[in-house]
Amino acid sequence: MDKPDPIGVGIQYNPEILDWFPFESLDVDLFEVLLDPFMGPLDGPSVFLPGALERLRELRRKRPLLAHSNYGCDFGFGDLERTPAVLRHVPMARAIGSPWIADHSFYGDESWLDIWSSPVQFSPTEVRRIADRARRLQEHYGIPLAHENAAYYLATPGSTMREADFMAALVERSGTFLHLDLHNVYANSLNLAGFDPMAYLETIPLDRVIAVHLAGGSWHDGLYHDWHDNPVPEPVWELLDWLLARARPGAVILEYQGRCHHESTRLLDTDDESMIVRDLARAKAAWAAASVHWAGVS
Ligand SMILES: [Fe+2]
């Protein structure tokens, strides 16, 4: 499957801040849509919640939509054909015309969805098992499938590989792609001993990076959390500049949200609109500078 053409800079269309944030008046190239909040229940008759498809099709008239699957249970241990990813997210991504789909490198199954803190086991055995599921899932989608790297606080027991080596081996074996969350890389470098962000970027195959996430986070109880509740930190901007000088992703996407990750998350409000607009402007400037570079080398 080929890597899609670049689209530009966008923002995650997050229902948690829809009530006050003016998404549709922003100067952005795309919206990333989290599929789960729009998904019909698995034991119900509809792929979308009532009215959701109409709402997303209306939004798509203004900007291209990129689908993102959080709770697909893609890499759990249940039957892949019975996961929310296959039963719901595949037809949803098609219905909104997404050029690719992102998922998470987390475990999850029908009874276990602690996805924010359950990274997959970084081991050769899991490379083989997960790559097989990823390859089959990408065939179901019929569009490129990109795996988002996790923020976590401990490696899953049994891990014998560095995360970057695992992700590289996974996409090499499955023929899938990467959705590189630079803030998660940054968060891991603060929380995990020996996690070097530059070593991470120098290990993964940059030509497989379809999309990039940027966000900010907060310190709480001695750990730095990917809570999407603050401006993008300076070191993350530096990682973005490094990346864009060497790779050509399809999109750079900013993430902001409410308290979905944790009750201690700083609650964004209308005062934060200028912060988000500033981050977006900086991302667009980085993209524009990289576009000049890409035009010079192509
Ligand atoms: Fe992310």
Within 10 angstroms of residue 219's Cβ, the number of other Cβ atoms is 10
State the distance from the centre of ligand 1 to the C-alpha of 182, rounded, in angstroms.
Answer: 8
State the distance from the centre of ligand 1 to the C-alpha of 223, rounded, in angstroms.
Answer: 18
Q: What is the DSSP letter of 212?
A: E
Q: How many alpha carbons fall within 13 Å on the CB side of residue 206? A: 16
- Does residue 176 contact residue 134 with C-beta atoms inside 8 Å? yes
The answer on pLDDT for 204 being more than 80 is yes
The answer on pLDDT for 110 being more than 70 is no
pLDDT of 117: 60
The answer on pLDDT for 259 being more than 70 is no
Which residues, chain by chain, have CB under 5 Å from ion ligand 1?
181, 213
pLDDT in tens, 230-255: 899 999 999 999 999 999 999 999 99
State the distance from the centre of ligand 1 to the C-alpha of 230, rounded, in angstroms.
Answer: 14
What number is the average pLDDT over the span 181-209?
A: 97
The answer on pLDDT for 112 being more than 60 is no
Q: Select, from the ranges 128-137, 219-228, 257-266, the one with the highest average predicted confidence (pLDDT).
A: 128-137
What number is the average pLDDT over the span 99-120?
A: 78
pLDDT of 237: 98
139-to-98, 112, 146, 295 alpha-carbon distances in Å = 15, 25, 13, 32
pLDDT of 115: 53
State the distance from the centre of ligand 1 to the C-alpha of 45, rounded, in angstroms.
Answer: 30
How far apart (Å, rounded) are the C-alpha atoms in residues 283 and 278? 9
Tell me how far apart the 2 most distant CA atoms of the chain are, in Å: 53
Residue 297: band (very low, low, confident or very high) from pLDDT cuts 50, 70, 90: confident
Residue 272: band (very low, low, confident or very high) from pLDDT cuts 50, 70, 90: confident
| Confidence (pTM) | 0.94
Looking only at the bridges linking them, the beta strands covering 251-254 and 101-104 are unpaired
- Does residue 28 contact residue 280 with C-beta atoms inside 8 Å? yes
State the distance from the centre of ligand 1 to the C-alpha of 149, rounded, in angstroms.
Answer: 8
Tell me the pLDDT of the chain averaged across its residues.
92
What number is the average pLDDT over the span 86-107?
A: 96
Query: How many residues can be counted in the chain?
Result: 298
The answer on pLDDT for 133 being more than 60 is yes
State the distance from the centre of ligand 1 to the C-alpha of 148, rounded, in angstroms.
Answer: 7
User: Lowest mean pLDDT: which of 59-68, 69-78, 114-123, 220-229?
Assistant: 114-123
Counting residues of the chain whose pLDDT is more than 90, the rounded percentage is: 75
Counting residues of the chain whose pLDDT is more than 70, the rounded percentage is: 95
All residues at 6 or more sequence positions from 163 whose CB lies less than 8 Å from its CB, including other chains: 119, 122, 149, 155, 188, 195, 200
Task: Kindly report each contact of residues 108-115 with a partner whose C-beta sits within 8 Å and lies 24 or more positions away, as own/partner.
Answer: 108/71, 108/72, 108/73, 108/74, 108/75, 108/76, 109/73, 109/76, 109/77, 109/78, 110/73, 110/78, 112/76, 113/71, 113/73, 115/70, 115/71
pLDDT of 20: 78
How far apart (Å, rounded) are the C-alpha atoms in residues 198 and 189? 10
What number is the average pLDDT over the span 65-90?
A: 93
Q: Which of 234, 253, 236, 242 is nearest to 293 (CA)?
A: 242
HEC string for 99-143: CCEEEECECCECCECCHHHCECCCCHHHHHHHHHHHHHHHHHHCC
State the distance from the centre of ligand 1 to the C-alpha of 177, rounded, in angstroms.
Answer: 15
What number is the average pLDDT over the span 281-296?
A: 93
The answer on pLDDT for 64 being more than 60 is yes
- Does residue 181 contact residue 223 with C-beta atoms inside 8 Å? no
State the distance from the centre of ligand 1 to the C-alpha of 228, rounded, in angstroms.
Answer: 9
pLDDT of 207: 97
pLDDT of 285: 97
pLDDT of 44: 92
State the distance from the centre of ligand 1 to the C-alpha of 269, rounded, in angstroms.
Answer: 20
State the distance from the centre of ligand 1 to the C-alpha of 296, rounded, in angstroms.
Answer: 30
Greater model confidence, 154 or 23: 154
